[in-house]
A and B are shown apart, each in its own frame.
Chain A
Amino acid sequence: MSDGANGQILNVTDLHTYFPIKSRGLIPRTIGQVKAVDGIDLALASSETLGLVGESGSGKTTAARSILRLVEPTSGQIELDGQDITHLNSSAMVKVRRKAQMIFQDPYTALNPRHTVGGIIAAPFRVQKVEPPGGVRAAVMELMERVGLNPEHFNRYPNEFSGGQRQRIGIARAIALRPRLIVCDEPVSALDVSIQAQILNLLKDLQREFGIAYLFVAHDLSVVRQVSHRVAVMYLGHIVETASQEVIYAAPLHPYTHSLLSAIPIPDPAQQKKRNRILLQGDLPSPINPPSGCVFRTRCFQAQEKCAAEIPPLVELEPGHKVACHFPIAKPPESVVVSTTEEDEAVMAARRDSGPVDSGAMPH
């Protein structure tokens, strides 16, 4: 296996994924578009983890699925291991899936309840027609052992396992063919904290052992920090800031990143009470009708007139640190509360009425 250009496993350029909104009636017409992913670039090297964070409706899950072509991207280019997979047909994609696998959020629905665990983990061998040395059964049992499952439970069904164990089954299935990339979509958010840590450690160990690259999609910034080398922050279909893990968490420049970090309560009561708080008002605007200019400006404490007029490009302000903001800021003002005045309420109301705003309306 050879790496692509610059030793990269994954190279995503200008990816757009729009979902058409159809009118109801006899002959549905496209009356609008949900701009779930609106032009993002991503790159990932082997043994590297890129954390993709954002709130619900930010487009992070759609982005992840588009990269594996589980959702058809509208435009852009996806290069996996030096091969352009953007327009491959489905039979060619089957081969690609040997190199790129996915782990899902909900360990309860991602596994077919009528198949045994052994059958589930062996599925990639069957689909790809791979005969591992020593036979499929031995390979599956080895995988189970590797992810911390008892190989004797080969013939059990998923409902006999706890949430954490089911996620281990999903991981065993994903690593069966030694993929180069695994897209992890909220892999631990359905798990209890004591189990989360087990799974995060397992993912790290597997990366070390097999050199897997992870695209790690999650809303929990502390989890993302634990596993990521680099982090990209998404808001309303755009990447607003990306940098190394250390920089994102210690020295962010985008007002949204500041707000996100300050919104997460830290498990230390004395520190938590002393912290700066930036309290964003309202919810994410509708991705059908995003704000003009900078998508974050409607909730931003830095917003000025320019932000409504011009879209801020994602520019490299420091080596490896890119920010899409007209007014990046290293240290936000103390305890910002973007206050809700009458005027803001009117703006918010107008925004909320401009379409199905609920993040629940977003196709995932």
Chain B
Amino acid sequence: MAGYVVRRVVSMTLLLFLLTLTVFFLFNMMPADPARLTCGKACSPAIIEANRHHLELDIPPIEQYQRFVGGIFFGRTFSKDTPRPIECEAPCLGYSFLRNTEVLTLIARAAPVTFWLAIGGFLTWMLIGLSLGIVSALTRGRWVDRTIMGIALVGYSLPSFFIGLVLIFFVILDWNLLPFPQWTTPDKDLGRFLQTMILPWITIATLYAAFYMRLTRNQVLEVFGEDYIRTARAKGLPERVVVLKHALRAGLTPIVTAAGLDLAGLLGGAIITENIYSLPGLGSLSIGAVLASDLPVITGITLVTASLIIFANLVVDLLYAVVDPRVRVG
């Protein structure tokens, strides 16, 4: 098991390295010219050239990449030969000249919003998805099952911008049940936080819950057909034990994988939901950065999101090995 973990961590590190390489060069090859974008209205070739030097874009890409990676580990200084050099301490993901802020600062500011959005949404959808999925499997073919699957189908087919807009329109504007969302952290104003987050959570959870209902139902039904469930019944175990201990543990294990990865993906920002509810999270940050061609920010967010997913993958695999002894052998 220890050897397995070490091997996985090593390969994860390697993957992260390849990731920085890909991300960096992918965005470097984009047609946008940052030197021109930072130039403003009164622009001349000389200023662009100066900007290019200022942004350190006039050196070979390999060297740019070296500085970028060096920044992550040791920090770096931007605008070195100007009166106001900018010290960016390790881990330095870059500097947004458009916003005059370090990329890491921008991400750190937006991350809590996305974190709360993702966690709340995740818990909501897992709770609804798993419980209704299990109920649906246990009542297979009866009206309860059909109703739940009907709901899942509806939830599955509604796009999240539609759900978000409908919720805002009715709950906030028409019925005045909630104030208009305004972001705050839970420690500052818990009531306001909850009032703001409840609709985004529901919006995010709808699609995922529908997906997890179906996934859970299928998994549980598949496991119910397994021979070892028949054995558990033949042993005279109460149906409750058969379902909870024997069927669910086996049936829900693959769901752990899907859930972990979905959560990680969501932690990278929910662009549509954040935008609809004006939440200043990573999703909003990235859409703003893309619209402004703010390359350092895009690169930074991509790197953070991808690292999250790689890390989640590792966690999920380790969890899987804990749950399923057959995975442990290697």
Residues of A whose CB lies within 8 Å of any CB of B are 24-26
Interface positions of B from 9 to 68, Cβ below 8 Å from A? 10-11, 14
Give 6 nearest A-B pairs by CB, closest first. Answer: A24-B330, A25-B7, A26-B11, A26-B10, A26-B7, A24-B7
How many Å lie between the Cα of A318 and that of B7 in the bound state? Answer: 57
A25 contact set on B, CB distance < 8 A:
7
Complex CA gap A24/B329 in Å reads 11
The proximity string for B residues 259-302 relative to A, scoring 1 for CB distances below 8 Å and 0 otherwise, is 00000000000000000000000000000000000000000000
Q: Return chain B residues, CB-CB under 8 Å to A26.
A: 7, 10-11, 14
Count how many pairs of residues, one from A and one from B, have CB atoms less than 8 Å apart in the complex: 7
Nearest B residue to A24, CB-CB: B330
Q: Which residue of A lies closest to B3 (CB)?
A: A25
A–B Cβ pairs within 8 angstroms, 7 of them: A24-B7, A24-B330, A25-B7, A26-B7, A26-B10, A26-B11, A26-B14
B8 to chain A, nearest CB (A): 10
Give every chain B residue within 8 A of A24 (Cβ-Cβ): 7, 330
Among residues of A, the one whose C-beta sits closest to the C-beta of B10 is A26
In the complex, chain A residues whose CB is within 8 Å of the CB of B330: 24
Q: How far is the CA of A79 from the CA of B10 in the complex (A)?
A: 49
Residues of A within 8 A of B14 (CB): 26
Complex Cα distance, B10 from A25, in Å, reads 10
Quote the shortest CB–CB distance from A284 to chain B (angstroms).
Answer: 20
Residues on A with C-beta less than 8 A from B7 are 24-26
Q: A356 — nearest CB in chain B belongs to which residue?
A: B329
CA distance A26 to B7 in the complex (A): 8
Residue numbers in A under 8 Å from B11 (CB-CB): 26
Shortest CB distance A357–B (Å): 13
Distance, CA A26 to CA B15, complexed state (A): 12
* Chain A nearest Cβ from B106, distance in angstroms: 35
Q: How close is A281's CB to chain B, nearest CB, in angstroms?
A: 26
Report the separation of the CA atoms of residues A26 and B3 in the bound assembly, to the nearest whole angstrom: 12
B17 to A: closest C-beta gap in Å: 13
The residue of chain B having its C-beta at the shortest distance from the C-beta of A26 within the complex is B11
Least Cβ–Cβ distance between A334 and chain B, in angstroms:
39
CA distance A363 to B330 in the complex (A): 17
In the bound complex, CA of A26 to CA of B13 (Å): 12
Bound-state CA distance A25–B11 (Å) is 9
Complexed CA–CA distance, A24 and B317 (Å): 15
Q: How far is the CA of A26 from the CA of B14 in the complex (A)?
A: 10
In the complex, which residue of chain A has the Cβ closest to the Cβ of B7? A25
Nearest CB of A to B236, in Å: 29
Rounded to whole angstroms, the CA-CA distance of A170 and B56 in the bound complex is: 69
Question: From residue B14, how far is it (CB to closest CB) to chain A in Å?
Answer: 8
Q: What CA separation (Å) do A227 and B7 show in the bound complex? A: 53
CB distance from B314 to the nearest CB of A (A): 15
> Smallest CB–CB gap between A361 and chain B, Å?
10
Distance in angstroms between the alpha carbons of A26 and B330 in the assembled complex: 13
